Amino acid sequence: MLSKYHWWRDAVIYQVYVRSFLDSTGDGIGDLAGVRAGLPYLKKLGVDGIWLSPFYPSPQHDHGYDVADYRDVDPVFGDLDEFDQLMAAARRLGIKVLLDIVPNHCSSEHPWFREALDSPPGSPARARFHFAAGRGPDGSEPPNNWHAMFGGPAWTRVADGQWYLHMFTPEQPDWNWRNPEIADEFERTLRFWLDRGVDGFRIDVAAGLFKHPDLPDSDDPEADARTRDSVNPLAWNQPEVHDVWRRWRAICEEYGDRDGRERLLVGEVSVPTAREHALYVRPDELHQAFFFDLLGAPWDADAFRKVIAEAMQDIAGTGSTVTWVLNNHDQVRTVTRYGEPATEGSGLGAARARAAALLMLALPGAAYIYQGEELGLPEVVDLPDDVLTDPIFRRTGSRARIRDGCRVPLPWSGQASPFGFTSGAEGAKPWLPQPEYFAEYATDRALADTRSFWHLYRDGLQLRKSLPQLGEGPLEWLDSPPGVLAFTRGDGLVCAVNFGTANAPTPVPGTPLLSSGPCPPGVLPGATAAWWLNDL
Ligand code: GLC
């Protein structure tokens, strides 16, 4: 029987971007053995679990989000035996492990896609994907006007004249989920990893999967691909997708009923409104879906208050909890984002990022931390064009939304690159160059300095474990001056954040339990957050 305690409801999960975490082989690319070596560090930080970015065999056109084999490990990252060792080590340390599963699309190297290319139009092999005839007299126009998320049309033509659909890059053909073979194949994949002991899955593009059955033209194809929130309503968020999540939930429940370990499904759900978002986390669907509006909010008290209130209101009654996130492998890091227009990675952006962290950790629900966030790493904004690997850059030529800057390998120790990231032979270079200033952020320095980001996160996580007011539970707003947010959690924990630059009075007297920066008595300085236990 499942225990009554649902660990995921207020868990803190650390996102490991495997290729940039720690390299055990010296090829300059992080790997599963590196993750295993880093587990004690994560245990010390105090997270409940990790989410591993995709490590499956893949030609890496989108760093593993183009999966060629869903049930194996890419040799670059290790092998299944190493995966099992990682699972065993995580289990010993009490750290849960979530995998990243990519059901919307696969790699053009996947055997089923290769088979489709080798098969004639109309064949069962092609019916696993979206193949269609083109338009125009010779079929030389794509079947519809949809744009791909990473630039260019969403269709590519093959040798016999048909076209196939890919909502991301041409190397990522979309599965046709209207074909029951696909659902069955994914069930086999889920069971494969569940049998190896995983605690759940982060689901990539979880609002995707089904397309409008007629694949009609979009009214505004350019808008559809511009941002994550203006996704194509004909290619995303179709009602049938909810049946998939019901089936996956039932599979997770089956495993939980068998061994008492509750599994978690957390979806990357990009839909226009919080209300639509809530549909994905109904009691028999996903346990959780990332709530990206906090990540998207500008550094502004009213904006933060609005998204926090909306999230809690819309999730109420679904049985889920809010899944807060400030950083991930697709977004500019908070230190830089909040510092704009910025000079360096310290100063205002860093102070705000620290305050935001304390705010996030005080909110009801679960929190996700992206590797390096606990070090206060800034975005690397000056990577030269020739090292950029993000397909967005390759396909659009624009640096506007590129994601390499938040994926630079972590600094662990020392004064010069590779900063302990790669333990390999002399000359081994991290797959993306690390700037010199990463020396200041190395984990050994962070651990030794009690004023570091690392200590703030560690202390916050410890208090979440020891104080019953934190984690799940009620939140009540307190009156506060303009530019300040203040709320109580449960019985007596107060959190306040000053979004302004001038000092504000503290909402309660006394010394804070924890603060993101120095707090003289009675004063909450600008760009600072603090927690108090208020026993008045
Ligand atoms: C998700 C991932 C992103 C990936 C995309 C396509 O948004 O977070 O990294 O490129 O899906 O799989």
- Rounded distance from Cα 484 to ligand 1 centre (Å): 34
Cis peptide preceding 418, ω within 30 of 0: yes
- Rounded distance from Cα 66 to ligand 1 centre (Å): 9
Q: Using CA atoms, how far apart are residues 296 and 59, in angstroms rounded to an integer?
A: 31
Q: In this predicted model, what pLDDT tens digit does every residue of 425-443 receive, in sequence order?
A: 666 899 999 999 999 999 9
Q: What ranges make up the beta strands (E) of 241-365?
A: 264-267, 288-291, 323-325
Q: Using CA atoms, how far apart are residues 466 and 454, in angstroms rounded to an integer?
A: 18
Q: What ranges make up the beta strands (E) of 305-434?
A: 323-325, 366-370
Same CATH topology for 107-174 and 475-533: the answer is no
Token pair of 136 as six digits: 């125009």
Q: Is 204 tagged catalytic?
A: yes
CA angle 126, 127, 128 (to 5 degrees): 90
What is the per-residue pLDDT for 345?
Answer: 44
Specify whether the CB–CB gap between 400 and 49 falls below 8 A: no
Percent of the chain with pLDDT over 70: 96
What is the per-residue pLDDT for 426?
Answer: 64
Torsion of the alpha carbons at 106, 112, 113 and 116, rounded to the nearest 10: -150
What is the per-residue pLDDT for 534?
Answer: 83
Mutate which of 330, 404, 407 to test ligand 1's pocket (most atoms within 8 Å of Cβ)?
A: 330
- In this structure, the residue with its CA closest to atom 4 of ligand 1 is 65
Weakest mean pLDDT among 4-13, 196-205, 321-330: 4-13
Picking from 472, 468, 464, the residue whose alpha carbon sits closest to that of residue 514 is 464
Residue 310 confidence (pLDDT) above 90: yes
Picking from 189, 174, 184, 168, the residue whose alpha carbon sits closest to that of residue 244 is 184
Check: pTM over 0.95? Answer yes or no. Answer: yes
Specify whether the CB–CB gap between 73 and 56 falls below 8 A: yes
What ligand 1 atom has the least distance to the C-alpha of 150?
10
Place of tokens 């989410």: 51
What is the per-residue pLDDT for 342?
Answer: 55
What average pLDDT is seen over the chain? 94
| SS3 assignment, position 333 | coil
Mutate which of 204, 332, 393 to test ligand 1's pocket (most atoms within 8 Å of Cβ)?
A: 204
Q: Tell me, which fold does domain 107-174 have in CATH? A: Oligo-1,6-glucosidase; domain 2 (3.90.400)
What is the per-residue pLDDT for 1?
Answer: 47
- Rounded distance from Cα 288 to ligand 1 centre (Å): 18
Query: What are the backbone dihedrals phi and psi of residue 203, each rounded to the nearest 5 degrees, phi first?
Result: -105, 120
Residue 400 confidence (pLDDT) above 90: no
Percent of the chain with pLDDT over 90: 88
Q: Which residues, in sequence order, are bridge partners of residue 267?
A: 203, 289
Higher pLDDT, residue 485 or 137: 485
Q: In this predicted model, what pLDDT tens digit does every residue of 316-363 receive, in sequence order?
A: 889 899 999 999 999 999 999 999 765 544 599 999 999 999 999 999
| SS3 assignment, position 33 | helix
Q: Any residues with CB less than 8 A from the CB of 505 and at least 6 apart, and which?
A: 481, 522, 523, 524
Given the DSSP bridges, would you call strands 200-203 and 264-267 parallel, antiparallel or unpaired? parallel
What ligand 1 atom has the least distance to the C-alpha of 104?
12
Q: In this predicted model, what pLDDT tens digit does every residue of 374-384 receive, in sequence order?
A: 999 999 999 99
Separation in Å, CA 366 to CA 9, 325, 459: 6, 9, 17
AA identity, residue 118: D
Q: How confident is the model at residue 272 (pLDDT cuts 50, 70, 90)?
A: confident
What is the per-residue pLDDT for 341?
Answer: 64
State the DSSP code for 18: G
What ligand 1 atom has the least distance to the C-alpha of 328?
8
What is the per-residue pLDDT for 343?
Answer: 52
Ligand 1 in contact with 102 (CB < 6 A)? Answer: yes
Specify whether the CB–CB gap between 293 and 276 falls below 8 A: no
For the chain, the 3-state helix, strand and coil shares in percent, each to the nearest 5, are: 30, 15, 55
Higher pLDDT, residue 505 or 397: 505
Q: What is the mean pLDDT of residues 268-290?
A: 93
Specify whether the CB–CB gap between 71 and 187 falls below 8 A: no
What ligand 1 atom has the least distance to the C-alpha of 105?
12
Token pair of 226 as six digits: 């511009």
Specify whether the CB–CB gap between 326 and 340 falls below 8 A: no
Ligand 1 in contact with 330 (CB < 6 A)? Answer: yes
- Domains of the chain: which residue ranges? 7-17+40-106+180-214+235-396+443-456, 107-174, 475-533
Q: Is 240 tagged catalytic?
A: no
State the DSSP code for 147: B
Q: Any residues with CB less than 8 A from the CB of 439 and at least 6 apart, and which?
A: 411, 414, 415, 416, 419, 445
Picking from 132, 99, 131, the residue whose alpha carbon sits closest to that of residue 13 is 99
- Rounded distance from Cα 148 to ligand 1 centre (Å): 12
Q: Any residues with CB less than 8 A from the CB of 450 and at least 6 apart, and which?
A: none
Ligand 1 in contact with 205 (CB < 6 A)? Answer: yes
What is the per-residue pLDDT for 56?
Answer: 98
What is the per-residue pLDDT for 397?
Answer: 86
- In this structure, the residue with its CA closest to atom 9 of ligand 1 is 330
- Domain 7-17+40-106+180-214+235-396+443-456 in CATH 3.20.20.80? The answer is yes
- Rounded distance from Cα 228 to ligand 1 centre (Å): 11
CA angle 110, 112, 118 (to 5 degrees): 110
- Rounded distance from Cα 86 to ligand 1 centre (Å): 24
- Rounded distance from Cα 353 to ligand 1 centre (Å): 24
Q: What is the mean pLDDT of residues 188-204?
A: 98
Mutate which of 65, 325, 390, 394 to test ligand 1's pocket (most atoms within 8 Å of Cβ)?
A: 65
- Which one of 184, 220, 240, 254 is the catalytic residue? 254
Q: Tell me, which fold does domain 475-533 have in CATH? A: Immunoglobulin-like (2.60.40)
Q: Using CA atoms, how far apart are residues 445 and 417, in angstroms rounded to an integer?
A: 15
Q: In this predicted model, what pLDDT tens digit does every residue of 246-266 receive, in sequence order?
A: 999 999 999 999 999 999 999
